[in-house]
A and B are shown apart, each in its own frame.
Chain A
Amino acid sequence: MTTPDYSPVVQATGLTKWFDSHSGRLSLFSELELTIQRGESVAIIGPSGSGKSTLLSLLAGLDSPSHGDVMIAGQALAQLDDSQRAALRSQHLSFIFQAFHLLPELNALENVMLPLEIRGQQNAEATARQWLDNVGLAERHSHYPPMLSGGEQQRVAIARAFATEPTLLFADEPTGNLDQSTGDAIVEQLFTLNREYSTTLILITHDSRLAARCGRVLQLQQGQLVEQPAAGSAQADAAEEAHP
């Protein structure tokens, strides 16, 4: 795994997003400042409609801010065109979604291979196999998503996310569609891998237990990002010990 020799990984300055509607301009947030260092795990929490998902899509370069700029791995997103952003995403970013988002026509192995193929990586299949084995799906390589349980599907999604060895991992309610025990196991795996590969994790969640496992917790409320007191590290460590 390559570790980029710079920090911070994410730096947002004066980040503003508004929407124009019939009833005038609707401001979601304005002048947000955010710096995330390499290897950090950050939870973004907040009530529904507060703009968590929009913030995440701006940080990931999937959407453009109305004002302000985001730098990822030292590159200002505003200065990149569509294909350069795509290349940056392909190189540094991965996502884990609440709804897994596996392509149903591809089997587990092919789903994991997909981002590697988009990157044009040579040993895509071997890498994908390795990652499926890593997440405990050695017996499920040729299974199609509908044949897998929710937990298994999310594991495939985790394998897919880590297979490209991302610098930055975005997770949007990764346990939202899972029952509690499966969710816990998935979270465990996510944090373990995150630590092992020194990935920077940005997590959106409603789940305060999950948020508490992150190094930093940021609350998005009324257009402002407020840093919450970090109580997570101790809990995270405890959880780590409990996990074999």
Chain B
Amino acid sequence: MTLSQLNRLALRQSRASWRLLEWRALAAALLIAICLSTLLAVTGAKLEKSLGQQSAALLGADLVISSSRPLPDKRAQAASTYGLQSSTVTQLSSMLSGNDKFLLGSIKAVAEPYPLRGEISTAPALGSVPEPGTVWAEKTVLQRLGLNVGDPLTLGYSTLTISAELLSTPDRGRGFGSFNPMVILNQADLAATQLIAPGARIDYRLLIAGPKTQVDQFEQSLLPQLSSAERLVSLNSEGNLQGNLQQNLNRYLRLSAVMALLLCALTILLSLRRFSHASLNRAAVLLNLGLQPGQLVQLFGLQLLQLWLVCAAAGTLIALLLDSLVASLLNSMIPGQLPDATLLHWLQGALMGLVLLTTLGLPPLLAISRVSVSQLLRQSEPASVTTGKVLMGLALLALLVWIGLYLDSPVLALALTAVLVGVSWALGLIGQWLTRRLATLLSGRLKLGRLLVLRIQQQRRWQKLQIPVMSLLLALMALLWLARGDLMERWAEQLPLDSANHFVINIQPWEKDPLAAFMQQQGVEAELYPMVRARITGKNGLANAEAFNAEQKQHNSLNRELNLTWRSQLARGNEVIEGSWPPKTDDNGNTVSVESNVAAHLGLKLGDTLSFSVGANQFEATVDSIRKVKWDSFQPNFYMVFAPAALEKLPTSYITAFYLPPENSTTANGLLEQFPTLTLIAIEQLLAQARQLIEHLVDASSLIMAMSLLAGTILVITLMTQERAQRRYENALLQALGASNRDCQQLDRLEFGLTGLVCGALAALLAELALWPIHQMALKVDPVIHPSSWLILPLLGMALFTLLGSLSRRAPRSLWTQLRAR
């Protein structure tokens, strides 16, 4: 037989195979796998490309020195001696107001040359630095304040004209503030705004760029000289938040897709096995007619190849359609347009499908080739099962390697697979036990109760796969759903009704009394807390390097400036658990009250001496009390509290927090009108921002979840059909023994319903278990049971399984034919 003849036969065989459920399941699984991996390859490539191409652009430079204090001129001078270009940027969060509305924004002051890498784009295009007296504002700023290009915008004490809409900008800065809507102004206008005041959180940056070798040399020479306030951010450093976000996003998307791909692989494996089993007779007939075993492999190989071609074309096409959806979701998280992916990335999914089909398809294909004509006489299985097992083992190993390559981390792949296998195994056992218990409980009450128990027993092999797959998928769905709505709401709800929902920072000493008077006049209760920004520089006479161990040095309190305060009365939500209150200052020096978590992390005891630095000032204080602080009290809380006289000579600003009912909009507006340099933070705005971020992430992963669910559903149908013949035969026999068709259907429905119920209940449990640490540790709220998921998930599971069960049943042949056929 020639190859073209074989190909024709394979084509006819393919067409006929579409009637087989296992062939359709195989095609669907392959299609999903190809579509999903194409989509992720393309999205991943776009993210990586935007990371690779734009990380310098995102940073706005090759190297950035960032500090909370103005950078000394010697840094820029040193850079120029290495032949490097430099530019200074000042960035801070403050209030923007216009049109009688206000908004917390990120303000960036820049000077020529800017940016050193990447491009600023504005509409209309006006160069790369705003003219003095003008400001460029992002769309969000314009929208939220109801402004247009040409309108005035007030920053602190200055009012500038918006000369352009800011479309994209590199160098967004670091920290939570960098997510705020941004405006850019000329460095020359900054002083007039009077936003630069002691205690204001300002990020001073020196952008540096030049040839790579010089940059590297400069970076090396700079490292030992950096002061404690300075931080170096280079292309590869961890401080590159945007880069981290994109890398994590990419990995996150890939991780969430692994489950779907594993499900597809499993479906492909099982349906191919069933297909090859169903093809044994056909193969034996062909062999009997004179086809060589090699040609047999070719024939079925060609059939798989044809299937792959169809799925590759369709899968890539669907991925193309879905890509624009994903891109629009991701664009809202990543500034700037995503670049295009290359053709190779578009082909990756199809290639992956081929690898998957080849590795998983080889063992069943070889099983077909080993069939003998005697199969026709005795309906036996082909003999060499051991080779099949070895091949299957190799195929699974290949799958593991492939996941490793896919996640770009063999360790992660191994860990993920191990966790999935472990959890699935446990779920399978628990689920099966539960189903059997329930069936036994029901068996006394049902006519076919004994059969139900038997049926569950018979199906245990498949239930061990069905139950974990479905409960994991339902649990993941529930998690996404709960994360989207419930988590943030729960956190917001648990706050006491009158807890502070507005914070004002950057209050300068001269504004303290007028502000207190303003608040009193508005009838708002607001206590002002003094704040001095300082760094811990040592303990018991030793510098940080010697005083603390490696783990302690990682703690936040040693790596940033702390807010110190003074007071004589213990604040609300504070409790002294060791030592004596209040802190003292006298000829013997200062004492300080330390928050208990910091004390525990840094290993501080009563009597220890801490050294602090505030700019050029150095001072020491002895720990004389440890305080437990209720952090979620929504009051300004402090790690370090001193006696009133101890800090008074140091640069101080004030902070306050107060509650404004939602209907009160005049107080906030009035406050900003009267005190334009103050920064007002509305908690609701922050919550809305966090919620938006979570929603985008959830939306992006929902698409992948939907595909996983589809893959899982196909797998469950495949599993259900594995024993379909047995089920049909049994039903026929039961009817011959006096059961009605309805009894048999009821038996099927009970079996599926019970399995679904157990899956749903396990999913609800898994979701609660997964949410527990999130509640407890991340949100610090008491974990709660979600009655809705305990109600909905089991019902959903039941409905899903019953539906799938009825899909996997085809119109039954005549009962008698069933029994005669055996």
Write the residues of chain A forming the contact surface with B, with a CB cutoff of 8 angstroms: 53-54, 56-57, 60, 62-63, 82-83, 85-87, 89-91, 93, 95, 97, 99, 101, 103, 105-106, 110, 114-115, 117-120, 160, 164, 172
Write 25 A-B pairs (CB below 8 A) sorted by A numbering. A54-B816, A56-B816, A57-B814, A57-B816, A62-B736, A62-B815, A63-B814, A63-B815, A82-B740, A83-B742, A86-B739, A90-B737, A90-B738, A93-B738, A97-B819, A99-B822, A101-B819, A103-B454, A103-B730, A114-B451, A115-B737, A117-B447, A117-B450, A118-B448, A118-B737
* A114 CA / B741 CA spacing, docked (Å): 16
Known A-B contacts A54-B816, A86-B741, A105-B457; A95 and B450 likewise in contact (beta carbons under 8 Å): no
- Residues of B within 8 Å of A117, CB to CB, are 447, 450
How many B residues touch A, CB cutoff 8 Å?
A: 25
* A57 CA / B819 CA spacing, docked (Å): 11
* A89 CA / B741 CA spacing, docked (Å): 12
Task: Please pick, from A53, A86, A97, A164, the residue contacting B735 in the complex, using a CB distance under 8 A.
Answer: A86
Known A-B contacts A86-B739, A89-B738, A117-B450; A57 and B815 likewise in contact (beta carbons under 8 Å): yes
Structural contact, A103 and B733, CB atoms closer than 8 A: yes
Task: Please pick, from B454, B738, B742, the residue contacting A118 in the complex, using a CB distance under 8 A.
Answer: B738
* A89 CA / B733 CA spacing, docked (Å): 12
Q: With CB as the reference atom, state the residue of chain B lying closest to A172.
A: B820
Query: What is the distance, in angstroms, from A107's C-beta to the closest C-beta of chain B?
Result: 12
* A91 CA / B740 CA spacing, docked (Å): 12
B578 on the A face (CB < 8 A): no
Task: Please pick, from B458, B733, B819, B820, the residue contacting A105 in the complex, using a CB distance under 8 A.
Answer: B458
Structural contact, A118 and B739, CB atoms closer than 8 A: yes
B795 on the A face (CB < 8 A): no
Q: With CB as the reference atom, state the residue of chain A lying closest to B733.
A: A101
Query: What is the distance, in angstroms, from A211's C-beta to the closest C-beta of chain B?
Result: 19
Query: What is the distance, in angstroms, from A185's C-beta to the closest C-beta of chain B?
Result: 23
- Residues of B within 8 Å of A95, CB to CB, are 736-737
Q: Which 9 A-B pairs have the closest CB atoms?
A: A90-B738, A86-B740, A57-B816, A83-B740, A115-B737, A62-B815, A118-B738, A82-B741, A99-B822
- Residues of B within 8 Å of A110, CB to CB, are 450
The interface bits of chain B over 797-821 (1 if a CB of A lies within 8 angstroms of the residue's CB, else 0) are: 0000000000000000011100110
Query: What is the distance, in angstroms, from A154's C-beta to the closest C-beta of chain B?
Result: 14
Q: With CB as the reference atom, state the residue of chain A lying closest to B453.
A: A105
- Residues of A within 8 Å of B741, CB to CB, are 82, 86
B734 on the A face (CB < 8 A): yes
B119 on the A face (CB < 8 A): no
Query: What is the distance, in angstroms, from A229's C-beta to the closest C-beta of chain B?
Result: 29
* A106 CA / B734 CA spacing, docked (Å): 13
B695 on the A face (CB < 8 A): no
B323 on the A face (CB < 8 A): no
- Residues of B within 8 Å of A120, CB to CB, are 447
* A101 CA / B457 CA spacing, docked (Å): 19
- Residues of B within 8 Å of A53, CB to CB, are 816, 820
* A203 CA / B730 CA spacing, docked (Å): 23
Query: What is the distance, in angstroms, from B749's C-beta to the closest C-beta of chain A?
Result: 16
- Residues of B within 8 Å of A160, CB to CB, are 737
Structural contact, B814 and A62, CB atoms closer than 8 A: yes
Tell me the residues in window 709-746 of chain B with beta carbons closer than 8 Å to chain A beta carbons: 730, 733-743
Q: With CB as the reference atom, state the residue of chain A lying closest to B454.
A: A105
- Residues of B within 8 Å of A114, CB to CB, are 450-451, 737
* A56 CA / B819 CA spacing, docked (Å): 13
Structural contact, A118 and B733, CB atoms closer than 8 A: no
Query: What is the distance, in angstroms, from B451's C-beta to the closest C-beta of chain A?
Result: 8
* A6 CA / B207 CA spacing, docked (Å): 107
Query: What is the distance, in angstroms, from A14's C-beta to the closest C-beta of chain B?
Result: 21
Structural contact, A118 and B815, CB atoms closer than 8 A: no
Q: With CB as the reference atom, state the residue of chain A lying closest to B448.
A: A118
* A57 CA / B813 CA spacing, docked (Å): 13
- Residues of A within 8 Å of B447, CB to CB, are 117-118, 120
Structural contact, B736 and A118, CB atoms closer than 8 A: no
Structural contact, B816 and A118, CB atoms closer than 8 A: no
* A164 CA / B736 CA spacing, docked (Å): 13
Known A-B contacts A114-B737, A117-B450; A62 and B816 likewise in contact (beta carbons under 8 Å): yes
Tell me the residues in window 429-486 of chain B with beta carbons closer than 8 Å to chain A beta carbons: 447-448, 450-451, 454, 457-458
Query: What is the distance, in angstroms, from B811's C-beta to the closest C-beta of chain A?
Result: 14
Query: What is the distance, in angstroms, from A104's C-beta to the closest C-beta of chain B?
Result: 9
Tell me the residues in window 384-434 of chain B with beta carbons closer than 8 Å to chain A beta carbons: none
- Residues of B within 8 Å of A105, CB to CB, are 454, 457-458
- Residues of A within 8 Å of B451, CB to CB, are 114
Query: What is the distance, in angstroms, from B731's C-beta to the closest C-beta of chain A?
Result: 12
Known A-B contacts A101-B733, A118-B734; A106 and B739 likewise in contact (beta carbons under 8 Å): no
* A97 CA / B451 CA spacing, docked (Å): 21
Query: What is the distance, in angstroms, from B379's C-beta to the closest C-beta of chain A?
Result: 13
Q: With CB as the reference atom, state the residue of chain B lying closest to A92.
A: B738
* A175 CA / B62 CA spacing, docked (Å): 90
* A164 CA / B457 CA spacing, docked (Å): 27
* A18 CA / B106 CA spacing, docked (Å): 83
Q: With CB as the reference atom, state the residue of chain A lying closest to B736.
A: A95
* A99 CA / B822 CA spacing, docked (Å): 7
Structural contact, B733 and A86, CB atoms closer than 8 A: no
Task: Please pick, from B457, B458, B738, B816, the residue contacting A86 in the complex, using a CB distance under 8 A.
Answer: B738
Most chain A beta carbons < 10 A, residue from B737, B741, B742: B737
Structural contact, A115 and B733, CB atoms closer than 8 A: no
- Residues of B within 8 Å of A118, CB to CB, are 447-448, 734, 737-739, 743
Q: With CB as the reference atom, state the residue of chain B lying closest to A90.
A: B738
Task: Please pick, from A63, A89, A103, the residue contacting B816 in the complex, using a CB distance under 8 A.
Answer: A63
Query: What is the distance, in angstroms, from B697's C-beta to the closest C-beta of chain A?
Result: 48
- Residues of A within 8 Å of B738, CB to CB, are 86-87, 89-91, 93, 115, 118-119, 164
- Residues of B within 8 Å of A83, CB to CB, are 740, 742-743
Structural contact, B736 and A89, CB atoms closer than 8 A: yes
Query: What is the distance, in angstroms, from A192's C-beta to the closest C-beta of chain B?
Result: 23
* A53 CA / B742 CA spacing, docked (Å): 24
Tell me the residues in window 40-93 of chain B with beta carbons closer than 8 Å to chain A beta carbons: none
Query: What is the distance, in angstroms, from A83's C-beta to the closest C-beta of chain B?
Result: 4
Task: Please pick, from B448, B454, B740, B814, the residue contacting A106 in the complex, using a CB distance under 8 A.
Answer: B454
Q: With CB as the reference atom, state the residue of chain B lying closest to A106.
A: B454
* A172 CA / B730 CA spacing, docked (Å): 18
Q: With CB as the reference atom, state the residue of chain B lying closest to A93.
A: B738
* A56 CA / B815 CA spacing, docked (Å): 12
Structural contact, B733 and A62, CB atoms closer than 8 A: no
* A45 CA / B779 CA spacing, docked (Å): 80
Query: What is the distance, in angstroms, from B165's C-beta to the closest C-beta of chain A?
Result: 69
Query: What is the distance, in angstroms, from B448's C-beta to the closest C-beta of chain A?
Result: 7
* A172 CA / B447 CA spacing, docked (Å): 27
Query: What is the distance, in angstroms, from B301's C-beta to the closest C-beta of chain A?
Result: 32
Q: With CB as the reference atom, state the residue of chain A lying closest to B821.
A: A99
Q: With CB as the reference atom, state the residue of chain B lying closest to A101.
A: B733
Query: What is the distance, in angstroms, from A241's C-beta to the closest C-beta of chain B?
Result: 34
- Residues of B within 8 Å of A106, CB to CB, are 454
Query: What is the distance, in angstroms, from A69's C-beta to the closest C-beta of chain B?
Result: 18
Query: What is the distance, in angstroms, from A168's C-beta to the closest C-beta of chain B?
Result: 13
Most chain B beta carbons < 10 A, residue from A62, A82, A99: A62
Structural contact, A101 and B742, CB atoms closer than 8 A: no
* A80 CA / B77 CA spacing, docked (Å): 102
- Residues of A within 8 Å of B734, CB to CB, are 118
Structural contact, A101 and B814, CB atoms closer than 8 A: no
- Residues of B within 8 Å of A56, CB to CB, are 816
Structural contact, B735 and A62, CB atoms closer than 8 A: yes
* A118 CA / B733 CA spacing, docked (Å): 12
Most chain B beta carbons < 10 A, residue from A87, A99, A101, A172: A101
Q: With CB as the reference atom, state the residue of chain A lying closest to B741.
A: A82
- Residues of A within 8 Å of B820, CB to CB, are 53, 172
* A119 CA / B822 CA spacing, docked (Å): 25
- List 12 additional A-B contacts (Cβ < 8 Å) besides A89-B735, A117-B447, A160-B737: A56-B816, A62-B735, A62-B814, A82-B740, A82-B742, A83-B740, A83-B743, A86-B742, A93-B738, A114-B450, A117-B450, A120-B447
Query: What is the distance, in angstroms, from A132's C-beta to the closest C-beta of chain B?
Result: 16
- Residues of B within 8 Å of A85, CB to CB, are 740
